[in-house]
Structure 1
């Protein structure tokens, strides 16, 4: 369960920096101001892309082998096996690094959000009440099963 939660945290974190047709994409170079932070980000991006999602690097391996019978048996091979091995990434240093990266990204996003809110507030304050009341309100439509195939904001 710990590993599932750990991998989910990595996937959800890196998702914020990925391509999307429906939302803003974070830029790691804008969010992080040190080489150490960028290198840590790259580690988690590669871990997500090359191990957790696509299984392309050495962190997960499956090694075939043969179990030999003792000499003199009618068959030399008792069984063919596969050894499934996964490298451990949930360790304190990695946990701390992911926590710091997420915290720093959240601070950056909050700062950008606050700046945009100030701009929007200034623009709206300049409008008369009659124009503000005429603006479209917030509406929410719950997702339906057929929505799983489409983007929120298709191009």
Structure 2
């Protein structure tokens, strides 16, 4: 994989490193869909990896920072494997071997789904109780109280395992990304020069406040 460098100009943006290029063209959707989605997965996984790196440096007593980094790493990782209307999801069985790798993946995914995001399992509970007075008191019930029990800070084993999950996913995505890039180049090299220059210019839509609730249009078959 690579990092693209570009600069802006009055006509849009200029891709650096290709001084002889005459056009930056948008390939057809059937060629570019998977390629685009792999890049988005890579960005999320890279962010998760950075969160885990910062988590390793965080003080254990800084509970807010530890929890924020842990939650961010979990959400960014499993975002790549969850259903999305705008991009193809990664498939667990294509990346992780059967047995312990998939068991660890499922365990961490359940933390994300059932604890962090949706609060459905018993890792967070609230105990409600009524304080009952002795018969000599005028009021039989003194107060209603509640307090929470939460499995909060991650253990080192969970942090290490999530790091392994992320690193394996990044490795797989990078391999697929490079393969897809080569296949796009190979396919377009079979086209005539006129067909290539007739392709539309590659462009991005500018996001706005009005578009925040909409599902974006992505390359699709």
Query: In structure 2, how many angstroms separate the alpha carbons of the residues matched to 1:70 and 1:53?
Result: 43
Gaps of 5+ in 1: none
Please tell me the root mean square deviation across aligned C-alpha atoms, in Å: 2.0
Query: In structure 2, how many angstroms separate the alpha carbons of the residues matched to 1:5 and 1:69?
Result: 45
Query: In structure 1, how many angstroms separate the alpha carbons of the residues matched to 2:217 and 2:77?
Result: 22
Q: Which residue of 1 aligns with 2:78?
A: 14
Give deviations 1:21-46, integer Å, cap 9, x for gaps.
21111000001124111111111221
Query: In structure 2, how many angstroms separate the alpha carbons of the residues matched to 1:89 and 1:31?
Result: 28
1:151 to 2:210 alignment: no
User: Residue 26 of structure 1 is aligned with which of 81, 86, 90?
Assistant: 90
User: Residue 58 of structure 1 is aligned with which of 97, 116, 122?
Assistant: 122
TM-score by length of 1: 0.89
Gaps of 5+ in 2: 1-63
Query: In structure 2, how many angstroms separate the alpha carbons of the residues matched to 1:95 and 1:121?
Result: 39
Query: In structure 1, how many angstroms separate the alpha carbons of the residues matched to 2:140 and 2:217?
Result: 62
Q: Which residue of 1 aligns with 2:184?
A: 120
Query: In structure 2, how many angstroms separate the alpha carbons of the residues matched to 1:150 and 1:124?
Result: 32
The CA deviation at 1:77 is 2.7
Structure ranking higher on relative contact order (CA contacts 8 Å, 6+ apart):
2
Give deviations 1:89-144, integer Å, cap 9, x for gaps.
51100000111101101110111111111111111223343332221122112211
Higher deviation after alignment, 14-23 or 43-52: 43-52
Query: In structure 2, how many angstroms separate the alpha carbons of the residues matched to 1:120 and 1:75?
Result: 79
Q: Which residue of 1 aligns with 2:202?
A: 138
The CA deviation at 1:51 is 1.4
The CA deviation at 1:147 is 1.4
SS of aligned partner of 1:63: strand
